[in-house]
Structure 1
Amino acid sequence: MTGTGRLIRLILRRDRVVLPLWVIALALIPAGYATSFESLFPTAADRLEYATVSGSNAGFVGLYGLISGSSLGEIVAWRSGFIPIMVALFAALTVIRHTRADEEFGRTELVAAGAVGRHAPLAAALITTCAASLLLGAILTAAMLGQNLPAEGAVLFGAEFALSGCAFAAVGAVAAQLTAGARGARTIAVVALGAAYALRVAGDVSAVGDGAVSWLSWLSPIGWATHIFPWGANDWWPVLLSALFVVLASGLSAVLLARRDFGGGLLPARPGPATSGLGTPLALAWRLHRGLLIGWTTGFALLGLIFGGVGGSVVDLVEDNQRVGDIFTRLGGATSLVDNYFAGTAGIVGLIASCYAVQAALRLRDEEQSGHAEPILATAVSRYAWAGSHLLFCLAGPAVALFAEGLVAGLTYTDGDLGAIVASALIELPAVWVLAAVTVLLFGLLPRLSAAAWGAPALCLLILLVGQTVRLDQWLLDVSPFTHIPHLPGGDVAVTPLLALLAIAAALTAIGLNGLRRRNIPA
Structure 2
Amino acid sequence: MSSFTGTGRLVRLAIRRDRIQLPLWILGTALFVPIVVASVRDRFPTDADRIEILRSAVASPALLVLRMAPTGASEGAMIMFSLLTYAAVLAGFMSTLAVVRHTRQNEETGRSEMVGATVVGRHAGLTAALIVVAGANIVLGGLVALALIGYDQPVAGSVGAGAGIAGAGLVFAGIAAIAAQIAQTSRAANGIAAAVVGVAYVLRGLGDALGQVQPDGYTVVSAWPTWLSPIGWVTEMRQYEGDRWWVLLLPLVTVVASVAVAFALTARRDVGMGMIQPRPGPAQATPALLSPLGLAWRLQRGTLFGWGVAMVVYGVAVGSLSQTVEDALGDNQGSVDTINKLAGGSNVDLMDAFFAAMMAIYGAMAAAYVVQALMRPRAEESSGAAEAVLATGTGRLTWLASHVAVAVGGAVLLLVLAGASTGLVAGLTGSDVGGNLVDLTGAALVQLPATLTLAGFAIAAFGLLPRLSVGLAWAAFTVSLIVGQLGELLGLPQAVRDISPFTHVPAVPAASATALPLIALTAVALALGAAGLALFRRRDIAL
TM > 0.5: yes
Shift of 1:53: 2.2
**Cross-structure match for 1:69:** 72
1:35 to 15, 35, 38: 38
The one-letter code sitting in structure 1 at the alignment partner of 2:150 is G
**Cross-structure match for 1:501:** 521
The secondary structure found in structure 2 opposite 1:82 is helix
> CA 1:493–1:214 in structure 2 vs 1: closer, same or farther (change >3 Å)?
farther
**Cross-structure match for 2:481:** 461
> CA 1:18–1:198 in structure 2 vs 1: closer, same or farther (change >3 Å)?
same
The one-letter code sitting in structure 1 at the alignment partner of 2:453 is V
Structure 1 residue 207 corresponds to structure 2 residue 226 = no
> CA 1:208–1:508 in structure 2 vs 1: closer, same or farther (change >3 Å)?
farther
**Cross-structure match for 2:383:** 370
TM-score in terms of structure 2 length: 0.86
Judge which range, 326-335 or 347-356, deviates more. Answer: 326-335
The one-letter code sitting in structure 2 at the alignment partner of 1:299 is A
Residue by residue over 1:2-41, the C-alpha shift from the partner in whole angstroms, topping out at 9 and shown as x without a partner, is: 3323322332232223223322332342233223322332
Residue by residue over 1:219-246, the C-alpha shift from the partner in whole angstroms, topping out at 9 and shown as x without a partner, is: 3222222232212353345422222222
2:5 to 2, 15, 18: 2
Shift of 1:378: 4.4
1:353 to 356, 361, 366: 366
> CA 1:309–1:27 in structure 2 vs 1: closer, same or farther (change >3 Å)?
farther
The secondary structure found in structure 1 opposite 2:290 is coil
Number of matched residues? 519
- Structure 1: distance between partners of 2:454 and 2:197: 22
Shift of 1:169: 0.7
Structure 2's unaligned 5+ residue stretches are 214-219, 341-346
> CA 1:359–1:330 in structure 2 vs 1: closer, same or farther (change >3 Å)?
closer
Residue by residue over 1:173-220, the C-alpha shift from the partner in whole angstroms, topping out at 9 and shown as x without a partner, is: 1111111211111111111111222222233223379x9x94333332
Tell whether the 8 Å contact from 2:104 to 2:189 is kept in structure 1 after alignment.
Answer: yes
- Structure 1: distance between partners of 2:53 and 2:379: 47
Residue by residue over 1:384-422, the C-alpha shift from the partner in whole angstroms, topping out at 9 and shown as x without a partner, is: 432332112110112222333344445555348454444
> CA 1:337–1:91 in structure 2 vs 1: closer, same or farther (change >3 Å)?
farther
2:447 to 428, 452, 461: 428
The one-letter code sitting in structure 2 at the alignment partner of 1:9 is R
The secondary structure found in structure 2 opposite 1:87 is helix
- Structure 1: distance between partners of 2:420 and 2:200: 23
Judge which range, 41-50 or 81-90, deviates more. Answer: 41-50
Structure 1 residue 514 corresponds to structure 2 residue 534 = yes
- Structure 2: distance between partners of 1:99 and 1:82: 26
Structure 1 residue 156 corresponds to structure 2 residue 160 = yes
Structure 1 residue 52 corresponds to structure 2 residue 55 = yes
Q: Following superposition of structure 1 onto structure 2, how do residues 254-265 of structure 1 map, counting pairs within 5 Å?
A: 254-265=263-274
> CA 1:440–1:331 in structure 2 vs 1: closer, same or farther (change >3 Å)?
closer
Q: Identity percentage over the alignment?
A: 39
Structure 1 residue 165 corresponds to structure 2 residue 179 = no
> CA 1:370–1:110 in structure 2 vs 1: closer, same or farther (change >3 Å)?
closer
- Structure 2: distance between partners of 1:331 and 1:7: 49
- Structure 1: distance between partners of 2:318 and 2:247: 26
Shift of 1:72: 0.8
The secondary structure found in structure 1 opposite 2:103 is helix
The secondary structure found in structure 2 opposite 1:228 is coil
Structure 1 residue 290 corresponds to structure 2 residue 301 = yes
1:130 to 134, 156, 165: 134
Tell whether the 8 Å contact from 1:58 to 1:310 is kept in structure 2 after alignment.
Answer: no
Shift of 1:125: 1.3
- Structure 1: distance between partners of 2:297 and 2:310: 19
**Cross-structure match for 1:96:** 100
2:408 to 371, 387, 395: 395
The secondary structure found in structure 2 opposite 1:271 is coil
**Cross-structure match for 1:250:** 259
Residue by residue over 1:287-327, the C-alpha shift from the partner in whole angstroms, topping out at 9 and shown as x without a partner, is: 111111112222333444555566566446537xxxx7254
**Cross-structure match for 1:386:** 399
- Structure 2: distance between partners of 1:247 and 1:308: 42
**Cross-structure match for 1:492:** 512
Residue by residue over 1:458-506, the C-alpha shift from the partner in whole angstroms, topping out at 9 and shown as x without a partner, is: 3313424774577655343222111111113322221211111112222
- Structure 1: distance between partners of 2:422 and 2:339: 22
2:459 to 428, 431, 440: 440
1:241 to 235, 243, 250: 250
> CA 1:318–1:508 in structure 2 vs 1: closer, same or farther (change >3 Å)?
closer
Shift of 1:518: 4.5
The secondary structure found in structure 2 opposite 1:216 is helix
- Structure 2: distance between partners of 1:331 and 1:25: 26
Judge which range, 305-314 or 163-172, deviates more. Answer: 305-314
> CA 1:377–1:262 in structure 2 vs 1: closer, same or farther (change >3 Å)?
closer
> CA 1:337–1:226 in structure 2 vs 1: closer, same or farther (change >3 Å)?
farther
1:121 to 116, 121, 125: 125
The secondary structure found in structure 2 opposite 1:386 is helix
Tell whether the 8 Å contact from 2:377 to 2:403 is kept in structure 1 after alignment.
Answer: yes
**Cross-structure match for 1:325:** 332
Tell whether the 8 Å contact from 1:58 to 1:341 is kept in structure 2 after alignment.
Answer: no
> CA 1:244–1:90 in structure 2 vs 1: closer, same or farther (change >3 Å)?
same
**Cross-structure match for 1:174:** 178
> CA 1:332–1:254 in structure 2 vs 1: closer, same or farther (change >3 Å)?
closer
The one-letter code sitting in structure 1 at the alignment partner of 2:99 is V
Tell whether the 8 Å contact from 2:201 to 2:229 is kept in structure 1 after alignment.
Answer: yes
The secondary structure found in structure 2 opposite 1:259 is coil
The one-letter code sitting in structure 2 at the alignment partner of 1:159 is A
Tell whether the 8 Å contact from 1:289 to 1:360 is kept in structure 2 after alignment.
Answer: yes
- Structure 1: distance between partners of 2:421 and 2:211: 22
The one-letter code sitting in structure 1 at the alignment partner of 2:532 is G
- Structure 2: distance between partners of 1:164 and 1:312: 36
- Structure 1: distance between partners of 2:303 and 2:166: 30
> CA 1:203–1:410 in structure 2 vs 1: closer, same or farther (change >3 Å)?
farther
- Structure 2: distance between partners of 1:429 and 1:408: 17
Structure 1 residue 267 corresponds to structure 2 residue 276 = yes
The secondary structure found in structure 2 opposite 1:169 is helix
Structure 1's unaligned 5+ residue stretches are none
